[in-house]
């Protein structure tokens, strides 16, 4: 029963039943309330996390209190591996955006998984490679795209798991600004430009994609 449930989580679906049972036997479960911090940047890193349910924001705070959001993680995503693989402290902060249930694996057990379970290690490496590719694309976007192109790219990335017609997502302008690593004012201006062009609609924190093809063109896809 437990194995079949975990097979529905993307992180586990390519693992053998034996590997899943091994992970379940060493993983604890912890529930976080909306807004609760999972950990803060510079905290000592002692656990690896896999999202069972909910939504987790990974972000950092730089000079003057400015925030940069790196990702919003959902069911099946993992985080917290960097301080276990490399340094001892967290390189970013993690916060629950809604009630979230996480699998929690200790540093000691995480290292055992890597050493003893090649499928787990390969899954980990593939995901880290994908994240590095995404980070490289983001740097490229910051260097070569204007705010409209960056916003278009962000909207497409953040809405890729939405399946409504038209695509809708709930997100406020501050969240978008933090995801782009900028302030609310230029994001507000860019949103209004996209609205006037009939590319998106945005009202009361809900963004609706009206013309996905134009959005993809602006993002350079």
pLDDT in tens, 35-45: 999 999 999 88
Residue 81 binned pLDDT confidence (cut-offs 50, 70, 90) = confident
Give the pLDDT of residue 124.
82
Residue 151 binned pLDDT confidence (cut-offs 50, 70, 90) = very high
Give the pLDDT of residue 218.
87
| Architecture of the domain defined by 2-141 | Sandwich (2.60)
Give the pLDDT of residue 189.
93
- Is the whole model's pTM more than 0.85, yes or no? no
**How far is Cα 199 from Cα 192, in angstroms, rounded to an integer?**
10
Q: Is the pLDDT of residue 114 over 60?
A: yes
Give the pLDDT of residue 37.
97
Give the pLDDT of residue 142.
63
Residue 171 binned pLDDT confidence (cut-offs 50, 70, 90) = very high
Give the pLDDT of residue 16.
77
pLDDT in tens, 1-49: 556 656 666 667 777 777 777 777 888 999 999 999 999 999 988 999 9
**Residue with the larger pLDDT of the pair 174 and 24:** 174
Average pLDDT, the chain: 86
**How far is Cα 71 from Cα 131, in angstroms, rounded to an integer?**
10
Residue percentage of the chain with pLDDT more than 70:
90
**How far is Cα 136 from Cα 149, in angstroms, rounded to an integer?**
16
CATH 1.10.10.10 for domain 145-219: yes
Confirm whether 2-141 and 145-219 share one CATH topology. Answer: no
Give the pLDDT of residue 175.
92
Distance of CA 49 to the CA centre of its chain: 13
**How far is Cα 154 from Cα 207, in angstroms, rounded to an integer?**
12
Let me know: does 43 contact 115? Beta carbons within 8 Å: no
Give the pLDDT of residue 72.
93
Distance of CA 23 to the CA centre of its chain: 22
Let me know: does 68 contact 103? Beta carbons within 8 Å: no
Name the residue ranges covered by the structural domains of the chain. Answer: 2-141, 145-219
């Amino acid at each position: 029963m437990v194995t079949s449930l975990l097979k529905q989580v993307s992180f586990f679906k390519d693992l053998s039943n034996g590997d899943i049972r091994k992970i379940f036997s060493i993983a604890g479960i912890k529930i976080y309330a909306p807004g609760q911090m999972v950990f803060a940047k510079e905290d000592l890193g002692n656990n690896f996390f896999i999202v069972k349910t909910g939504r987790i924001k990974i972000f950092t705070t730089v000079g003057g209190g400015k925030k940069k959001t790196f990702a919003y993680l959902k069911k099946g995503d993992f985080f917290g591996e960097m301080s276990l693989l490399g340094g001892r402290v967290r390189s970013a902060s993690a916060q629950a955006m809604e009630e979230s249930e996480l699998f929690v694996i200790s540093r000691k057990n995480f290292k055992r998984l890597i050493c003893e379970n090649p499928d787990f290690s390969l899954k980990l490496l593939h995901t880290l490679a994908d994240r590095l590719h995404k980070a490289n694309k983001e740097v490229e976007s910051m260097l070569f795209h204007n705010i409209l192109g960056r916003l278009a790219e962000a909207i497409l990335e953040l809405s890729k798991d939405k399946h409504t017609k038209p695509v809708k997502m709930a997100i406020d302008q501050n969240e978008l600004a933090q995801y782009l690593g900028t302030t609310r004012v230029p994001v507000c201006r860019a949103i209004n430009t996209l609205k006037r062009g009939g590319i998106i609609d945005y009202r009361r924190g809900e963004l609706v994609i009206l013309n996905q093809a134009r959005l993809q063109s602006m993002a350079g896809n």
